[in-house]
Amino acid sequence: MQQLTSIDIETLLSQLTLEEKISLLAGKSTWRTAEIERLSIPNLKVSDGPSGARGQIFGEGIPAAFLPSGVSLGATWDEALLFETGKLLAEECKSKSASVILAPTMCIQRHPLGGRNFESFSEDPFLTGKLATAHIRGVQSQGIGATAKHYVANDQETDRFHVNAVIPMRAMREVYLRPFQMVVRDADPWCIMSAYNEVNGVHCDVSTELLTDIPRSEWGWNGVFMSDWGGTHDPADSLIAGLDLEMPGPPAKRTLDRMITHVQLGDISTSLIDRSVKRLLSLLQKANRFEDPHDRQEVCLDLPEQRTKLCHIARSGIVLLKNENQVLPLNPAENLTKVAILGPNAKRVVAGGGGSSYIKSPYWTSVYGSVESMFRGTKTEFVHAVGAKVNRYLRTASSAVARNPYTGKEGGLVEWFNSHDLSGDVVARTHVDDLYYITFGNIPPEIPSETGFSFRLRTILTPLTTGKHRLSLASIGPSELYINGECHTMVDGAFEKRGTLFFTYGSDESIFEYEMIAGREYHIHIDYRSHDRQLNAKLVDLMDPMEDKFQGVRLGYGEVDCSDLPQEAALVAQDCEAAIVVVGRDKEWETEGQDIPLFELPGEQVRLIEEVAKVCPRTIVVIQAGTPVQMEPWIHKVNAVLYCWYQGQELGNAAASVICGEFNPSGRLPVTFPRRLEDCPSFSSFPGENHEIVYSEGIYVGYRWWDLLGISPLFPIGYGLSYNTFEQSQHLLKNTVLLRDCPIEVTVQVRNLGGGDLPGRQTLIAWFREKSKSRLARPKKQICGFAKSSLLRPEESCTLEIAITAYDLGVYDTERRAWVIHAKSQFEMLVGPNADEIVSVGTVHAPSEITWVHRI
């Protein structure tokens, strides 16, 4: 069967009734659009997200490949690798019978404490745009649609549904819109997702300027604009502005009655409805849904070649920040006698930040397990100590102590009831691995409605120690926690503020102590009743979008522990030849829904590092986090620091590959690492107040700010070490006359000088600096290109070529509302591996003015 032509779409459009057209303007369910069976118009399924195609179940669904975080992908500086990552993500999307992936996240890392920074590529708009372009091309090359998000300026999680981002027009164009403009020009994403927040006083989903004037009239884009989930504010205004699709369904704003009323009153015309419906039909056509409308069962691929690719992608983003006296790699051939692997993140899974991008993986790896595996067959002894209390809340019970009483599997059992008071028969039983259980519109089919249900979460705890243990309960709706049939704490469900444990209004932890005996079984159950807030008119007005969709509970558990963990770890490390200290944050510290509360490593981790460094002369710190952390003064007391970000399911294998010298680190920082939080460009304004955040730094985001003030950061953007040393030479600047459509080219020879036996790769960044006087202020330098070498053996060299166009050097003139390079402008071109190590390679000049509106 041939795909539909544009004429067929016009014919379909003419055959649709007004009611049918309106039904297509909003999702039918959480992850699907509506279908029109009468005309054989199929639905379309979408899937979260940036870290992998999770599928339709939020939490305990079919496992999916857990990819490295966006910031780690940014650290690769590798467009070819991002293209391959996009292809892998597309295949994962197909395994979940979805046609569109809700990725990539393209927000700018404006402040180090942004709770969702880990999803985004960089602080730099050019790097973000280039990598997102490659990523989207990779996804769409496989017949799956990509969704560029969140458009635009969703750069913080605090008050994200209501905050008004006040952004000067130049900063808006040159920093926050620029990556989206680049992907529209070079990748043509099938979809773009609007952000929750306001920009300059108008919510993004009802901004005609953001949804129509700029992307459609200026950039010429004609894809589908969809809302973020629950991010549609007005049915008529959003359609007029250019929002095509309200998600999810059933619709909260674009209900049939509302939309028909707006048509009858003349608020919206049928031509506007036709415009969006036509775009949605075109999306179905691109996704091949007319030809193949069948929905298939979700499956988990988990193929060997996929594991290999994921490990390579993960290790390619790891950044070596310090390697004093070449203490790394820790080669198994050294015949080490004893090695300590310490820290709260050493044995546990820290795969990603929290929120909608978190995936249930088919398997997990840890740094301890993977490093120990690399030494298999040697005589090296490995020892471990947790070393620090780090959890933000009581941790959920580990698989070592909790099991499902029905199946005996690790985790818990959920028994579902068709009543609000747990009366009647159990109508469904589901297993959960994690006792931090959230449902998001994915209750069992045996429950006919999302209102008026209840469930009982059951597990058997078998403590490892004897003494007073701490347990906690937190929940979204009313709940009670029972031990051996006796109620010990309850949550009434009447919450007046957003909690920190859930996406929505929910409780804080209710903590209590309970005497337990090691090895004895304790039957725990939590009775939970759906909150049904959507039925309360007063609460509906207070709730943010999607508040009513979330239900869930969390069981916290902590064994008795009065020990000095950092000191214990130091005692373990004192007779070891090397100590690997694995620290960082996790999904409770970095998560969608809230910003990060502190810059320092949480808990006792700094003391752990310092105590171990005192007794072990070969101390290696491995950090797992999605943003920079405070590293002074402890960084000066250790030998090596490896920044591993969040690497998904291959985090352990990727880190071990670099630690043990199997892979030469080639990651380079995509963000500036500050010495102090006070040095950051948005320090004075983040996260705003009274529902407003002023982007007072303007165009001086990231490294541009440090350049402007002459402040030295801890590590500049682009920084990263290798096990080799590289030399750059023979710099050549071709085409020194800048013309509209004639690129200039910087060529540099890169040579691997050795220093280690492994082959390695080097990244070079091209910058420009305007030398001529202009009425429009410019940063002292800006990134305009980059390239990554092939794998070079010691003493091997290659030539890197970086093509730079006029569109990479323009400035946005707010008076002319156009991009411009003024006549007789002169630009010094620079190149180097990072912002602090650059050399001038010559000057280019523009003999006449170059101006444009439609492309960049």
Q: Active-site residues: which are they?
A: 228
- Rounded Cα distance between 282 and 276, Å, is 10
E strand or H helix at 522:
strand 522-529
Sign of CA dihedral 363, 46, 73, 594: negative
Looking at residue 658, its amino acid is V
- How many CA atoms does the CB half-sphere of 502 hold within 13 Å? 30
Chain Cα centroid distance, residue 471 = 31
E strand or H helix at 165:
strand 164-166
Query: Within a 10 A sphere around the Cβ of 549, how many other Cβ atoms?
Result: 19
- Rounded Cα distance between 204 and 196, Å, is 7
Please answer whether residues 372 and 336 qualify as being in contact, where contact means their C-beta atoms are separated by less than 8 angstroms: no
Torsion angles phi and psi, residue 554, rounded to 5: -140, 125
Please answer whether residues 738 and 718 qualify as being in contact, where contact means their C-beta atoms are separated by less than 8 angstroms: no
DSSP 3-state percent helix, strand, coil across the chain (nearest 5):
25, 25, 50
Looking at residue 95, its amino acid is S
Question: 760: which 2 tokens?
Answer: 């390695």
Question: 314: which 2 tokens?
Answer: 């993960």
Which position has the token pair 């030849």? 577
Q: Using alpha carbons, select from 757, 848, 852, 746 the residue that is nearest to residue 802.
A: 746
C-alpha dist (Å) from residue 752 to 119, 504, 640, 726, 760: 32, 52, 22, 5, 7
What burial class does residue 492 get, using C-beta atoms within 10 Å of its C-beta: 0-12 exposed, 13-18 middle, 19+ buried? Answer: exposed
Question: 42: which 2 tokens?
Answer: 């199929």
Q: Using alpha carbons, select from 272, 254, 268 the residue that is nearest to residue 34.
A: 254
CB neighbour list of residue 21: distance below 8 Å, 6 or more residues apart: 13, 270, 273, 274, 277
Please answer whether residues 1 and 26 qualify as being in contact, where contact means their C-beta atoms are separated by less than 8 angstroms: no
Axis-axis angle for helices 125-140, 178-186 (nearest 10):
30
Sign of CA dihedral 350, 351, 357, 360: negative
Q: Using alpha carbons, select from 287, 414, 297, 400 the residue that is nearest to residue 348.
A: 400
Compute the residue count for the chain. Answer: 856
Looking at residue 705, its amino acid is W
Query: Within a 10 A sphere around the Cβ of 840, how many other Cβ atoms?
Result: 14
| DSSP-derived pairing of the beta strands 811-813 and 818-821 | antiparallel
Looking at residue 823, its amino acid is A
Please answer whether residues 104 and 82 qualify as being in contact, where contact means their C-beta atoms are separated by less than 8 angstroms: no
The string of DSSP codes covering 46-73 is EE--TT----SSSSSSS----PPPHHHH
Q: Using alpha carbons, select from 447, 519, 531, 463 the residue that is nearest to residue 491.
A: 531
- Rounded Cα distance between 718 and 787, Å, is 12
Tell me how many degrees the CA angle 792-797-798 measures, rounded to the nearest 5.
Answer: 95
- Rounded Cα distance between 445 and 57, Å, is 12
| DSSP-derived pairing of the beta strands 763-770 and 825-834 | antiparallel
E strand or H helix at 148:
strand 145-151
